[in-house]
Structure 1
Amino acid sequence: MELLDQSSRKKSPPHDLLPAVPFRKRLLGKKRRWVALGILLVLLLSVALPAGALVYLFFQVREFPALGNELNGAITSQDLPRIEASLGAIDSQLKKAETAFSSMFVLRLIPWVGDYYRDGIHALKAARLAVDTGEEIAAVLGPYKENLGLGPGFGSQITVEQRLQNLLDTLPPLADKLDLVWTNIPLIKEELQGINSFRYPEDFRGIKVRFWLSEAQKILDEVEPLVLRGREILEIAPALLGSPKRTYLVLFQNAAELRPTGGFITGFSLLTVNGGRVTANDFHSGAYFADNYPPELGVAPPPVMKYLNVYKWHFQDSNFSPDFPTTAKTILGAWKKSPLPKVSGVVAINTQIAADLLNLTGPVRISGYDLDLANTGLPEDCRQGGQNFTSVNLICRLEFYVEKSPPGSSGTEARKKILDLVSDAVIKKISNSSAEIWPKLVDFVFKHLQQKNLMIFSSAENEQKFVSDLGYAGEVRDASNDYLYINDSNFGGLKTNLYLKEEVEQSLQKLEDGTWRKTVDIKYRNPVPFDGWLSGYYKDFVRIYVPQGTKLVSVSGALQIWTNRDQWSTTIQNAAGWGEFGKTVFGAYFAVLPQRDYTLTFVYDLPSSVSKAIDDSGEYRLLLQKQSGTNIGLVKVQIGDTMESVNLSQDREITLTLGR
């Protein structure tokens, strides 16, 4: 024990590191606090920057509705400098929104919120593409703005005819200058398709968010086919509009007496256009009393022969095929044998077009055909409008002057002239109208092309393919699933289609052997009493076009049933029907009394290919094709408890999910 020095024990403590421990703890605590403060600062910035950016973004985005309204006003007024200024303002505001949104990138990592962030990216990209496209179009049109009347007041200084002539001179040079447009429109559509519109409220601070997102996608769906063919349109349009000069055979179809391609051919015109300007309108009115008429087309088709009691196939009945290109070729085949001038194509227009044109141009008055019919016993639409032809009374008054030949007129001569005079008056009024109606005129043309009140056939193969690809040829369409085209022909029922109401109800059921059986009820009603002039005993030869391979089960409501192209019976003779245009066809003939309801019913089994497609996909898909001039309005389709309804104003597609 004495060997240990007590003093040295005090001087040499055994735990020499203990004094350092409190200091290191304090140092480590400070580091942790700094790290924690750093993390907190990052988190705060991560929240604060997007939050600040979001506030900033809100104030930028809320300016867009007013800027959009200004751009819409500039486009409506066809003022190119104002359009350029509006696009510039939108571009500037969009850059601010893009800057604000770029600060919110962290939001993409947050569940649920990230979906909205990605929608925002899509929306901004679509907006940027749209603005760039608009600025490119404005820049390209700039050098031509005076020729096209795209300046303040220019629209009121030039006529529609002058605008069209200038446009035809301008289109070819533009074809190679709009590459960005052809590229960007599909990209805009792609960006908008990346946005789920159902994530958003119907209305936010007065803005119909969901509606406008859906509407933008629909609009792009409609214009995309035109845009994808944009260059071709600019190259072909001048030729179609008479550059160089050409003559069309224009068929005037009276939809009040419905026929397969739109109506009874009550007259025709040789319409010559040169550089967009109508230089001649050689009208031949009245099928039964025209001075120069094409020769007959040969032996009439069996239904025409039977129900119209004729042997020869006359020109006025030449539109027997529901496929307009087929009808046009049939007509041109006979036309070549006539002494009348050579034509470049056939255009069919319905009386509805003339009536709607008067909505654009206003009423017309024609000397010698200006009786005030207000106090007559004629139908109500005839009595309106005073001495003028209006959009409301046009069809009825044409029938009055053509059919009644009123006292003071020159009989047959009056009948010959009225359609000629009306068509001339409408053409002149449009041609001399201010170019300010141009946007409405363009919308008018496309509306009636879609509704098949206007159909075009060109003898030039490339032009006809172009028209067909756009869906404006009036042809029987292809379909990979179920298909229905109801085609009515008024064979001796006066002008009953002026008043006739028609609806279609379809129901489907699956049989034990896996076949899908379909019932089609076509319901007719003429609400107007018999007058022996317009409203009469409606006699209808109807054909239904269905998928190839369909088998007919039953027909009820028919006086005669056609299951063969050339003969009828009172019973089903051939359940397979006959074939046309890649479809199976069944026909029936029946009659409807005025002020009575009538139902014609077809029951048939869909082919195995269609039944398999329904079963494999779990969906029923139907293409409904509209007949030009049809009276069919509402169409319903039902499978079990699931039902869909559409208005057949144009071709429609219906999809029903099974078991929904």
Structure 2
Amino acid sequence: MSRASVARMKRARARRRIVLSVLGVLVLAIIALGGWFAVSAWTAKGEVEAAVAAAKNLQTEVQGGDLDLDKIADGIDEVSQHIDRTYAQTSQPVWALAGLTPYYGSDISTVREVVRILEDVSNNAMPALANVARTVDVNDLGIKDGTISLGGLDSVAPDLARANQSLTDAAAQLNTVGETHFPQLNSAIAQGREQLGTLADLTGTAGNLASILPSMLATGQSGGTRTYLVLAQNNAELRATGGIASSWGVLTINAGKLALGSFATPPADAVFSDAEARSVLTADERNLFSTKMATDYQDINFTPDFTRTAKLAHDIWQRAGNGSVDGVISVDPVFLQRLLAVAGPVTLDDTASALLDGGTGGSGSGGGSAVTLDGQNAARILLNRIYLGSSTQAEQDVFFALAASQVFNHVLHNLDGKGMQMLKTVRQAVQDGHLYLWSAHEAEQEKLAGVQVSGALATKPAQPEAGVYFNDATMGKMDWYLKREVTSKYDKTYPNGARQYTLTVTLTNTADASAVAAAPDLLRGYDGDGKPRRGEIETVLYVYAPAGGRLVDWSEDFDQIATHDGLTVGAKTVTLEPGERFTTTIHVLASASAGSTELVVRQTPSTD
């Protein structure tokens, strides 16, 4: 073999050694990178699991009865720390390299993007929310000796606005994140998207309230005086938002100090004429509820949209020469009973007690004993017992007005040190539909419009809400005996992502036939010819489809299918004899834009 051949062979071996060395280094590098990524991924997984656990604990704390804001603030900080540590892992270069690998690389990139979005929430929304929790003093929140204290809520509106903006942006960014190859991961991202959207809505609501409550309640630097018309609804005769507004009163707030005037029968002579009602009401309202919605004060809440009820009440009050009010508040006996459970019982004066016993309230004595209302019996006395005696309708109206006034005045001066209980009671009343609020000031009402306490119709397809409402047609006080059950169940998802649900509505007349036959005519009501009824309950049922959705089908025919402010509505009159039951099932379809967001069912508040 020649020297040249030997030299070529040596050079070839050298090149192979170099190539093998490079390959070896690359293999070692890949192994090292793989190990680095594995360790980082394992660390990130642990931080994510810790963040989820901390978030669940935080949710439990928020939904708990005590509402310890210091613990909530610490919980927010803990969740934030785990998110930051997760981001510290996924932002490393090895994750970017892993994102370049075939097939699963896109999944890794998706995870990095989701963590980046959450890190932005951690840096912007969570510190603001933690500051809110540490600033608001729930022990100073409430009514003390008739004066409102916001407990620092008025100072956290900017923090809530910052948190809301961050959460809203994050939810929007998550909507652009694509699908991965792992269903479990897709589900987790979908849940995160939904939860961020919910948090954005909550902070938006809280921020709106924090920004307008100081002016609405005339507290703090805003000061001044506010006057509100208070509607006391009587659920014994159902209307969509509760019951007939049979007593109206005025609440005045001066620099946070509350003063409640007497309640009285509404000004019947100031309602609208039939001709006026045709221009005051919308075509949808006239079709569904007739012009009586504006011509009879007892029917102004035929509509489930409290913003319309409040505006009508505001205008009727003004037409009666009582001047303008800054807003309208609606309460009912169930809310009053819950307030008494917090403030303690109240003994009614001799006039009210005499009326309950069937005596004449004008004399101030009826020979009976004093009546005490408490957290257990107030609703029954106000919604049923008063109608079992021999009192006239005028006397019943006076009793209801006196009782409402005396309960409120008692509550306003017996809540010291009970701010947390009061807060929970108000929150539950709002959720159940026993408390509504409307502002005559446009800027305030705009911020109230998206808040549950406004009682406005739900018109956002992405937040599916069905409605089940009832209006009494018995013209008596029989709805104390009407048992109502409304349930909702998920059925299926259509190819376009729209979800279908089954609503089941059951009505039962629980009245005892013999007992109710002996009851006064004012309790039993009257038929269309003005003759006393025999114990039957006549109810008009309204079923509202979610915004952007529809009523698919139903087991019992509706009397009409109509629309109300763009929402599809089915209406049906149901008449039940004592002991009789009616059940109907309705399939409703939510908008595809609602995605996996669960359907909420709003309904006429119950009597318990």
TM-score by length of 1: 0.62
For residues 425 and 28 of structure 1, the distance between their equivalents in structure 2, rounded to whole angstroms, comes to: 98
Summarize the alignment of residues 188-267 of structure 1 with structure 2, pairs less than 5 Å apart.
Answer: 188-193=170-175, 194=177, 199=182, 216-225=192-201, 227=203, 233-243=209-219, 244-267=224-247
Q: Which residue of 2 aligns with 1:295?
A: 269
Q: Cα gap change, 1:421/1:189 in structure 2, threshold over 3 Å: closer, same or farther? A: same
For residues 175 and 520 of structure 1, the distance between their equivalents in structure 2, rounded to whole angstroms, comes to: 38
Q: Which residue of 1 aligns with 2:512?
A: 529
For residues 556 and 5 of structure 2, the distance between their equivalents in structure 1, rounded to whole angstroms, comes to: 108
Contact kept? 2:142, 2:149, Cα under 8 Å: no
Q: Cα gap change, 1:521/1:364 in structure 2, threshold over 3 Å: closer, same or farther? A: closer
Q: Which residue of 2 aligns with 1:421?
A: 406
**More displaced stretch, 63-72 vs 323-332:** 63-72
Residue 267 of structure 1: how far off its partner (Å):
1.9
TM-score by length of 2: 0.67
Contact kept? 1:295, 1:335, Cα under 8 Å: no
Residue 592 of structure 1: how far off its partner (Å):
1.4
Match of 1:389 among 350, 357, 374: 374
Question: Is 1:107 matched with 2:98?
Answer: yes
For residues 331 and 541 of structure 1, the distance between their equivalents in structure 2, rounded to whole angstroms, comes to: 23
Q: Which residue of 1 aligns with 2:87?
A: 98
Secondary structure of the equivalent of 1:161? strand
What amino acid does structure 2 have at the position aligned with 1:99? A
Q: Which residue of 1 aligns with 2:282?
A: none
Q: Cα gap change, 1:441/1:471 in structure 2, threshold over 3 Å: closer, same or farther? A: closer
Deviations 1:603-658 (A, max 9, x none): xxx9xxx9xx99x99x9x99998453379xxxxxxxxxxxxxxxxxxxxxxxxxxx
Summarize the alignment of residues 422-441 of structure 1 with structure 2, pairs less than 5 Å apart.
Answer: 422-429=407-414, 431-437=415-421, 440=424
What amino acid does structure 1 have at the position aligned with 2:473? N
Q: Which residue of 1 aligns with 2:110?
A: 118
Question: Is 1:135 matched with 2:127?
Answer: yes
Q: Which residue of 1 aligns with 2:260?
A: 281
Secondary structure of the equivalent of 2:239? coil
Match of 2:472 among 479, 486, 489: 489
Question: Is 1:457 matched with 2:438?
Answer: yes
Deviations 1:140-178 (A, max 9, x none): 887xx4xx43xxxxx55x45236995548763x655566
Question: Is 1:161 matched with 2:150?
Answer: no
Residue 252 of structure 1: how far off its partner (Å):
1.4
Residue 134 of structure 1: how far off its partner (Å):
2.4
Secondary structure of the equivalent of 2:163? helix
For residues 539 and 325 of structure 1, the distance between their equivalents in structure 2, rounded to whole angstroms, comes to: 26
Residue 20 of structure 1: how far off its partner (Å):
1.7
Contact kept? 1:494, 1:538, Cα under 8 Å: no
For residues 77 and 602 of structure 2, the distance between their equivalents in structure 1, rounded to whole angstroms, comes to: 44
Contact kept? 2:333, 2:382, Cα under 8 Å: no
For residues 269 and 444 of structure 1, the distance between their equivalents in structure 2, rounded to whole angstroms, comes to: 23
For residues 428 and 104 of structure 2, the distance between their equivalents in structure 1, rounded to whole angstroms, comes to: 45
Q: Cα gap change, 1:248/1:199 in structure 2, threshold over 3 Å: closer, same or farther? A: farther
Match of 2:605 among 603, 617, 629: 629
Secondary structure of the equivalent of 1:256? strand
Secondary structure of the equivalent of 1:252? strand
For residues 623 and 68 of structure 1, the distance between their equivalents in structure 2, rounded to whole angstroms, comes to: 23
Question: Is 1:27 matched with 2:19?
Answer: no
Contact kept? 2:47, 2:82, Cα under 8 Å: yes
Contact kept? 1:483, 1:622, Cα under 8 Å: no
Residue 297 of structure 1: how far off its partner (Å):
2.0
Q: Which residue of 2 aligns with 1:366?
A: 347
Residue 229 of structure 1: how far off its partner (Å):
7.4
Match of 1:56 among 43, 49, 57: 43
For residues 199 and 327 of structure 1, the distance between their equivalents in structure 2, rounded to whole angstroms, comes to: 50
Deviations 1:418-445 (A, max 9, x none): 333333334444x424444476357436
Contact kept? 2:98, 2:105, Cα under 8 Å: yes
Deviations 1:9-47 (A, max 9, x none): xxxx9x452232332232123112202211211210121
Deviations 1:268-324 (A, max 9, x none): 2212223444x2122425xxxx5x8553525579999xx9xx9x9553444345543
Q: Cα gap change, 1:428/1:65 in structure 2, threshold over 3 Å: closer, same or farther? A: farther
What amino acid does structure 2 have at the position aligned with 1:284? F
Q: What are the ranges of 5 or more consecutive residues in structure 2 without an aligned counterpart? A: 279-284, 354-370, 490-501, 525-534
Contact kept? 1:255, 1:498, Cα under 8 Å: no
For residues 122 and 402 of structure 1, the distance between their equivalents in structure 2, rounded to whole angstroms, comes to: 60
Name the structure with the higher helix share: 2
Contact kept? 2:231, 2:331, Cα under 8 Å: yes
Contact kept? 1:350, 1:629, Cα under 8 Å: no
Q: Which residue of 1 aligns with 2:169?
A: 187
Summarize the alignment of residues 613-628 of structure 1 with structure 2, pairs less than 5 Å apart.
Answer: 626-628=602-604
Contact kept? 2:83, 2:122, Cα under 8 Å: no
Q: What are the ranges of 5 or more consecutive residues in structure 1 without an aligned counterpart? A: 1-12, 150-154, 202-208, 372-385, 507-518, 564-576, 632-660
Deviations 1:30-81 (A, max 9, x none): 1122022112112101211012223433454454466557767987877777
Contact kept? 1:485, 1:627, Cα under 8 Å: yes
Residue 184 of structure 1: how far off its partner (Å):
0.9
For residues 450 and 60 of structure 2, the distance between their equivalents in structure 1, rounded to whole angstroms, comes to: 33
What amino acid does structure 1 have at the position aligned with 2:43? Y
CA RMSD, Structure 1 to Structure 2 (Å): 5.5
Contact kept? 2:161, 2:203, Cα under 8 Å: no
For residues 479 and 415 of structure 1, the distance between their equivalents in structure 2, rounded to whole angstroms, comes to: 38
Residue 339 of structure 1: how far off its partner (Å):
5.3
Contact kept? 1:363, 1:390, Cα under 8 Å: yes
Q: Which residue of 1 aligns with 2:576?
A: 592
For residues 319 and 471 of structure 2, the distance between their equivalents in structure 1, rounded to whole angstroms, comes to: 30
**More displaced stretch, 248-257 vs 322-331:** 322-331
For residues 85 and 580 of structure 1, the distance between their equivalents in structure 2, rounded to whole angstroms, comes to: 46
For residues 69 and 484 of structure 2, the distance between their equivalents in structure 1, rounded to whole angstroms, comes to: 46
Q: Which residue of 2 aligns with 1:338?
A: 320
> How many residue pairs were aligned?
525
What amino acid does structure 1 have at the position aligned with 2:269? P
For residues 197 and 574 of structure 2, the distance between their equivalents in structure 1, rounded to whole angstroms, comes to: 41
